[in-house]
Structure 1
Amino acid sequence: MSRETPWPHGARTAPAAPAGAPEAFAEPRIRVGGGWIALFAAAWLGIWMAQLTPIQLLLPLQIESLQSGSASAAAASTDWIASVLAFGVISGLAGVAALIAFPLTGALSDRTTSRFGRRRPWMVVGTLVFGLSLALLGAQSTLVGVGIFWVLAITGFCVLTAALTATISDQVPTSQRGVVSGWLAAPQAIGTILGLILVTTLFTAQSAGYLAVAVLLVLLVLPFCLWAPDAVLERSARAPFGARAFFNGFWISPTRHPDFGFTLLGRVLVNTGNALGTALLLYFLTYGLHDESAETDLIVLTLIYMVFVILASLGAGALSDRLGRRRAFVFTASLLQALAALLLAFVPNLGAAMVAAGLLGLGYGCFLSVDQALATQVLPDPAARGKDLGIMNIATAVPQAMAPLLGALVVAMTGGFMALFVLAAVFAAAGSVAVARVRGVR
């Protein structure tokens, strides 16, 4: 494995640990190899499949089925907005859980002194909680049960991914983070389309669909947990625990650390815009376009989206490493997503939706890979990478969870989808403005 080479143009690297700091806090200098990246990508493939397949298809259909079962035949055929709202409320509750679980898990993993490493125990626990909750979710026959087990599933997702994303800062040198982050982003698209194909062709029963993605989650994540290295933090190197200092650490002053603040704000805005544009896509096809083949066309749109996400995430991540630049990529990605949302708003037909899926994939793939690399370079404290990245991860997971509720309210108030997509464009464009304010990273 080769040593890290400095970035061109004097671009900033991540903050260095103090001289004499423990190995767990040291800034990585050795490039990770292909085996590490392959295990990392496989883990994210399982994670995205397990999270996004329910969001895109399984959960809306399950909720709609329960709503229809408790309503009269006439009401069930017309009151589709009630299903959208129920989906939004359940997603919103999961968002609250993510708001707590992400930074708390990150902070606890920073302080973990297990002989197995700091991150590994949390990845294993998160995987098992996530997978078991999904398996039990498929057996629920009430909205309350669906809500409880989806919240538990998202909590497991947060525990797992808070620890997993921290391994980028722990083990990957700055000059390689665009490439590695691309292998976090590309599996999102692949996992979504594979999950949708599995649950619409092979595992068509509700419980079987949830169980299939749960099993694949465990099978794809555990190899990384077992074989990837994870530096052990000695008890003597861990800072003394104080409850006040511990919880005060979750506040990172945007005036003292403006680059962290603007990166976090940009991530919240762009991910909210993306989630608004995609979370209710099945409802848009079914009730906005009156598409009789909505489930099939959802797979087609997802496939188009997937191709462009993969191309953009891997290509943009590698190019941003080579050029030593992050902001320009993230700025452009945000505007592409805004353009896609406006196309859905003002040209509501299937052909335009296909073009929008391509633009959205291009923009979001670029954003996912390069923004993740950018986030690792604005962390204030090498000893608190897990906690700080946990806060950053809130800006990814919480918008995905809360956007269905916000989108459902917009659809309910306006009786259509145009305002929803316009709002998505506004959020994405505002995110580009926030990212432009980052100064410490080119």
Structure 2
Amino acid sequence: MVNADPTLVPGNPDTPDPAPAPGTSALYRRGSHFRRYRVSYLMAGLSIAAIWGAVGGILLPLHVQQIEFGQFFSGADAGVDLQSLTALKYAVDAGSTVPTADQSRLLGLLAEFEAARALGLSSIAVVSSILTMLIQPIAGILSDRTRSRWGRRAPWIIAGAVIGAALLVAMRFSPTIGLLLVTYSVAQLGLNLASGPLNATVADRVPSGQRGSMSALSGFSSLIGGAIGSIVAGALFAIIGLDAYFPFVVAVIVFTVLFVLLARDRSSRDLVVPPMTLRQVLASFTVALRDRDFRWLWIAKVALLFGGGVSGAFGIYMLQSYIRPGLSAAEAAQISPLLAMAGIPGTVVALLVAGWWSDRLGRRKPFVIGATFLIAGSMFIPLLSPTLPALFIQGVIAGVGVGSFLTVDQAMFIDLLPDRDAAARDLGVSTLGGNLGQALGPLLAGVVVAVTGGYTALWIVAIVIVVIAALLVFPIRRVR
């Protein structure tokens, strides 16, 4: 049986250090409690990240594609093969073939379909990100102020996982873009209610000298979970179609409950919570952003994820309509996870090395800046060579940058927290920055595709934005 409030014996490495205030968490040092926390934290993080990879990367784009295909290709056109039609488009563009009247009609429908598909997916991504952006800081404040025998974070982790899981089930049966937008937005909102407090447990329980390494574990769970999710979803989609949502529903419930039980927090019933008016609640969102260095890092994160959102918004569509030769939807669903996997070795090495090295040197900025420039540089490869091998090479190089960024950026935000007693609130604000970038990216990407009729311009726009993100880190002073 897990001891919810272990006896704190001075000098005993198997127990956490005493909590600094009544109702708050204890800092771990080392031993079985810390090991149990790390393992259960990793598994809970993996289960949430797997949903982002599976749903955001594979199932949602293919779900949108199925809905839009039915809108444009119906009746006698319902049997049209998109892969063959895209190949015809390439041949016509190259001047190697002259389309018949019926082929010209189908190519016109293809252009309308591709624009609608991109705008439909970007609309869902934008609305869901905005909702998450609004709820994350509020959830952080409420989490910081929650009194329960399970601690401040556990009620939010479980409630968020249950809401997210329920809405994933609803997504499976959503027949229109509008309904899919609503169900996915609420599902993402719920899962962010779980992931925000989960991430805040690092600031609550992990000593400062180990946060870089723990942030590396967090980054590892995000990366590996996303890759695992996309691989499993791609494989399951070929077998059971959209029923592939269901295994992820089960996983997120199981592993978040296990985290709460195995890494049980101290009771927060004795937490001292000063009264707060609605005006103070709203004003508290700006506390972290009034800190100069936190604000610069926040803007840089917005810019980086904005650029990443532009280039990555339509990954599965690029495999069908950007690279030459284009793939079918089924092929794209299976190749897309392999692209994610290609970058994992470099990312894992970067996660482990960058977090440890950053802690050892006591420096964060060089890692964040270098990682951002590396990501920008990798984008030139598919820009200059729109082929599948180029996308694989880009993924490998960007993986190293992403690994370094994920671990050190999170540690840097924790180092810059203006109020450690409000860690969930201010880390929620940092997450808001990521959500803002992720919202702006698909929005701009959808407009670019609709205006230009292709995907080439996406890489150019993304490179410019990511380079700006790197430059924004230089003014930070309090963390080297």
Q: TM-score, normalised by structure 2?
A: 0.84
Moved more, 227-236 or 164-173: 227-236
Alignment of 1:48-197 (within 5 A): 48-72=49-73, 73=77, 74=106, 77-78=110-111, 79-197=113-231
Letter of the 2:21 partner, please give it. Answer: P
Letter of the 1:263 partner, please give it. Answer: L
Per the TM alignment, residue 367 of structure 1 is displaced from its structure 2 partner at its CA by 0.4
Does the aligned pair in 2 maintain the 1:189–1:307 contact within 8 Å? no
The yes-or-no answer on 1:220 pairing with 2:255 is yes
Per the TM alignment, residue 69 of structure 1 is displaced from its structure 2 partner at its CA by 1.1
Letter of the 2:428 partner, please give it. Answer: G
2:283 to 245, 248, 264: 248
Does the aligned pair in 2 maintain the 1:23–1:231 contact within 8 Å? no
Alpha-carbon distance in 2 for matches of 1:24, 1:374:
26
Letter of the 1:427 partner, please give it. Answer: I
The yes-or-no answer on 1:321 pairing with 2:382 is no
Match of 2:427 in 1: 389
Match of 2:381 in 1: 343
Alpha-carbon distance in 1 for matches of 2:436, 2:20:
33
Distance 1:179 1:21, change over 3 A: closer
Per the TM alignment, residue 258 of structure 1 is displaced from its structure 2 partner at its CA by 0.7
Match of 1:274 in 2: 308
Give CA deviations for 1:345-395 in whole Å, capped at 9, x if unaligned. Answer: 222222221111011111111101110011001111122111100000112
Distance 1:26 1:199, change over 3 A: closer
2:296 to 242, 249, 262: 262
Give CA deviations for 1:71-106 in whole Å, capped at 9, x if unaligned. Answer: 233365442121011000011110111111110000
Distance 1:27 1:199, change over 3 A: closer
1:231 to 260, 266, 280: 266
Match of 2:409 in 1: 371
Q: TM-score, normalised by structure 1?
A: 0.91
Does the aligned pair in 2 maintain the 1:91–1:402 contact within 8 Å? no
Distance 1:26 1:236, change over 3 A: closer
SS at match of 2:275: coil
Give CA deviations for 1:196-235 in whole Å, capped at 9, x if unaligned. Answer: 2322324533442111111112222221122213233345
Letter of the 1:230 partner, please give it. Answer: D
Match of 1:33 in 2: 34
Distance 1:361 1:23, change over 3 A: farther
The yes-or-no answer on 1:352 pairing with 2:390 is yes
Does the aligned pair in 2 maintain the 1:270–1:428 contact within 8 Å? yes
Q: Can you give the 5+ residue segments of structure 2 that lack an aligned partner in the other structure?
A: 1-11, 78-105
Match of 1:361 in 2: 399
SS at match of 1:70: helix
Moved more, 57-66 or 202-211: 202-211
Give CA deviations for 1:295-353 in whole Å, capped at 9, x if unaligned. Answer: 33322211102222222112211221122111111111100111112222222222221
Moved more, 241-250 or 396-405: 396-405
Alpha-carbon distance in 1 for matches of 2:23, 2:368:
30
Give CA deviations for 1:252-291 in whole Å, capped at 9, x if unaligned. Answer: 375x511110111111111222222222111111101142
The yes-or-no answer on 1:441 pairing with 2:479 is yes
Per the TM alignment, residue 145 of structure 1 is displaced from its structure 2 partner at its CA by 1.4
Match of 1:16 in 2: none
Q: Identity of paired residues, percent? A: 28
Distance 1:84 1:294, change over 3 A: same
Does the aligned pair in 2 maintain the 1:27–1:382 contact within 8 Å? no
Distance 1:239 1:358, change over 3 A: same
Distance 1:314 1:76, change over 3 A: farther
Alpha-carbon distance in 1 for matches of 2:465, 2:13:
41
Does the aligned pair in 1 maintain the 2:36–2:263 contact within 8 Å? no
Moved more, 105-114 or 307-316: 307-316
Letter of the 2:455 partner, please give it. Answer: F
Moved more, 226-235 or 417-426: 226-235
Does the aligned pair in 2 maintain the 1:22–1:233 contact within 8 Å? no
SS at match of 2:379: helix
Match of 2:95 in 1: none
Letter of the 1:373 partner, please give it. Answer: A
SS at match of 1:112: coil
Per the TM alignment, residue 245 of structure 1 is displaced from its structure 2 partner at its CA by 1.2
SS at match of 1:271: helix
Match of 1:309 in 2: 347
Distance 1:417 1:311, change over 3 A: same
Does the aligned pair in 2 maintain the 1:24–1:170 contact within 8 Å? no
Distance 1:102 1:59, change over 3 A: same
SS at match of 1:141: coil
Alpha-carbon distance in 2 for matches of 1:273, 1:311:
24
Does the aligned pair in 1 maintain the 2:22–2:272 contact within 8 Å? no
2:240 to 189, 205, 215: 205
Alpha-carbon distance in 2 for matches of 1:106, 1:253:
13
